[in-house]
Every structure is written in structure tokens, then in C-alpha cells.
């Protein structure tokens, strides 16, 4: 066998072994470096019994609280709920204390955010907080739990649009990050003369109107 060719083959094999070694080493380290996330979160999640509403409908919003590591002995949390005042009118709220000092909900008509992307019209918010000496919500309550029940009323607005309810923290327990999960709701307001309620006034609506007037459609 040609000695020169043999040496080149050996060098190539050695290079390949180094590449494989580096690849295996990186694969073993990535789970502990690139993808490791040991942070604990206080989580606030918004829910509605339904997602589609009409003018003058009542929108019930339930806010639930959870902790990623199930710690029930924290110092509390403060939240800010953003909504569009041109679409939703805030009516009232029911707050659950869980043995904490609770601040009364404050409605702010011009409300900015440093963390959330807020639409131009979504400049109102509700601010409130729960404060404890380090035993909140305590072992007496199971997680997740309901923090509050908010009630809004849909205003007379432009037909067929969506609006976002968003939530962020104003304060949280030291050593914890915050994760807010908002809710999107749709407003389905029929246009005048939109008989079939498809978002358009067209020939189909005229036909339905004529059928109704002639007695073919009850």
C-alpha cells in the first residue's frame, strides 16, 4: 500500500474523529446550557366562557393564578389588565383575597406598557394587587386558583372585529418571573340590513327580505 496515501487516510480519519467528538460533546452540553430554564414563574391566565359576543353583551372574564413550582408561600403579586375602552366598558369585579391584603381595583383610562404590545385603542387598564408577608396563598388553597372575576359590557362598535384582553405584572415575588396569558374575544355586530348576518349587505339579503315580505320565509 502506498505510504503517502495511507498517511492521508489516517489524517482524514483522525479529523473525522475530532469532528464527531466535538459534535457529541456539544450535544451533551446543549440540554444543560442552551435549553435549560430553571426560572420559576408566577402565572396569570385569563379565561372567558365564550369568545364571541354581540353589542350590549356581558363579557365575564375569569383570571386564574398558578405557580410553576407549586410554591404556596410567596409575597403576592400585582397585575395590570389592559382592555380597549372603545369596545368594552368595565362594569365591576369580584376579587378573592386568599388571606392577603388586596388593593382595590383602580381603572386607569390612559395606560401604557413597557412589556406588552398595546393597540392604539387599548389604552385603559385595571390595576390591583395581593400583598402578603410570605404565606400567599397558603397551603389551604389548591393551585391554580381564581384570582378575580371581571365583568365588561360590549359597546355599540364597528361590526366584526376582535379585541384583546392582555395582562402583565406590576410587581411579583423576588426570584420569580411572570407569565401572563391574555384572551382574544370577537365582537359580531350585524350591519343594518345584513339579514343573513354574514358581514355584508348584498343581493342575498335582498332576496331574503323579498321572500319574507312575500310570505315564502317566516
Mean pLDDT confidence for 86-110 = 91
Domains in the chain: boundaries: 1-36, 40-187
pLDDT value for 34: 45
Q: Whole-number mean pLDDT of the chain?
A: 80
Grid coordinates representing 178? 411572570
Helix (H, G, I), strand (E, B) or coil at 207: helix
pLDDT value for 123: 81
Q: Quickly name the fold that domain 40-187 has.
A: Immunoglobulin-like (2.60.40)
Burial class (CB in 10 A: 0-12, 13-18, 19+), 128: buried
User: pLDDT tier at 54 (50, 70, 90 boundaries)?
Assistant: confident
Percentage of residues in the chain with pLDDT exceeding 90? 47
Helix (H) or strand (E) holding 53: strand 52-53
Helix (H) or strand (E) holding 54: none
Q: Strand 101-102 relative to strand 161-171: parallel, antiparallel, unpaired?
A: unpaired
How many whole angstroms separate alpha carbon 89 and alpha carbon 87?
7
Residue 177 has pLDDT above 80, yes or no: yes
pLDDT value for 158: 59
End-to-end CA, the chain: 97
Grid coordinates representing 54? 354581540
Q: Which residues pair with 131 in a beta bridge?
A: 76, 101
Residue 25 has pLDDT above 60, yes or no: no
pLDDT value for 188: 80
> What global pTM score does this model have?
0.70
Amino acid at each position: 500500500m502506498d505510504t503517502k496515501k495511507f498517511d492521508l487516510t489516517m489524517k482524514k480519519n483522525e479529523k473525522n474523529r475530532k469532528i464527531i467528538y466535538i459534535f457529541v460533546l456539544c450535544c451533551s452540553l446543549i440540554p444543560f446550557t442552551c435549553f435549560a430554564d430553571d426560572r420559576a414563574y408566577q402565572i396569570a391566565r385569563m379565561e372567558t366562557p365564550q369568545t364571541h359576543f354581540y353589542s350590549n353583551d356581558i363579557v365575564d372574564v375569569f383570571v386564574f393564578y398558578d405557580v410553576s413550582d407549586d410554591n404556596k408561600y410567596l409575597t403576592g403579586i400585582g397585575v395590570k389588565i389592559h382592555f380597549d375602552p372603545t369596545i368594552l366598558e368595565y362594569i365591576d369585579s369580584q376579587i378573592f383575597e386568599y388571606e392577603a391584603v388586596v388593593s382595590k381595583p383602580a381603572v386607569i383610562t390612559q395606560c401604557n406598557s413597557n412589556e406588552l404590545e398595546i393597540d392604539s385603542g387599548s389604552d385603559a387598564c385595571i390595576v390591583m394587587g395581593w400583598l402578603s408577608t410570605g404565606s400567599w396563598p397558603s397551603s389551604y388553597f389548591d393551585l391554580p386558583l381564581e384570582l378575580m372575576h371581571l365583568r365588561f359590557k360590549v359597546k355599540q362598535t364597528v361590526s366584526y372585529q376582535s379585541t384583546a384582553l392582555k395582562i402583565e405584572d406590576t410587581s411579583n415575588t423576588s426570584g420569580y418571573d411572570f407569565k401572563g396569558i391574555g384572551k382574544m374575544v370577537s365582537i359580531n355586530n350585524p350591519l343594518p340590513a345584513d339579514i343573513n348576518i354574514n358581514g355584508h349587505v348584498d343581493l342575498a339579503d335582498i332576496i331574503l327580505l323579498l321572500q319574507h315580505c312575500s310570505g315564502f320565509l317566516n
